[in-house]
Amino acid sequence: MITASIRLTGTLDDGAEVYRSYYLVADFAASGSGKASIIPMSLGAPMPDEEHLMVKHGGEEAALKAAAEAIKALPGNRGLEVKAVINPE
């Protein structure tokens, strides 16, 4: 199992300062296919249509990277500064 914390910070178009946090979990083989779970930790944080993201190859790391890219691309998250921590304590 591999986990990551994704934090997004910045200023929205209306001038409001924003902080959003997500927790990502992938629990399958280090290579191969599987899915990552996206868990919003901030109230009102935008979410993809599906809370699970499937990858066909690349293992858990690929699943976490794909989930992070999906989160960064969401309307409301574009342009925000991103910090990722793999296996946060």
Q: Quick: pLDDT tens for 21-63.
A: 999 998 887 778 888 999 999 998 999 988 888 888 888 888 8
- Are the C-beta atoms of 30 and 57 separated by less than 8 Å? no
Provide the whole-model pTM.
0.86
Distance CA 6, CA 14 (A): 23
